[in-house]
Amino acid sequence: MISEVVDKIIFVLNAFSVIILLVGVAKAIVDFTKNEFGSGTREEISFRNNKIKLYLGSYILLSLEVLIASDIIETILNPSTQDIVILGGIVVIRTAISYFLGKEIEQTHNEEE
């Protein structure tokens, strides 16, 4: 009974993560299209594209954090050594991606100021 509920929660979190990512990508596509077909110099267009990249990066980071939470919950349900090692690897990879993406967002934000 509890296992089925947790499985549904994990499914919902994974689906929510995908929705977050798709919403971010859809917004970035709309903004990019407006930017490319709008007016402005190449420098202005490039500056706005960097803002779009920053905006999309925040959605990617949020999506990764939700996936990590989902994986942690799943491992709590199945705490075998193999599952813990797999979770550790997934968390390390996703954390590294989140860290470097966050640094890139921070650097882009500092360049804008």
Instruction: Supply φ then ψ for residue 14, to 5 degrees.
Output: -65, -45
pTM: 0.76
Name the residue among 51, 32, 46, 35 with its Cα closest to residue 108. 51
DSSP H/E element including 96: helix 81-112
Asked if residue 66 lies in contact with residue 17, where contact means CB atoms within 8 angstroms, the answer is: yes
> Each residue's pLDDT tens digit in the chain (113 positions)?
777 888 899 999 999 999 999 999 999 999 999 999 988 888 888 888 888 988 898 898 899 889 888 888 888 877 778 878 887 887 788 788 878 877 877 777 777 66
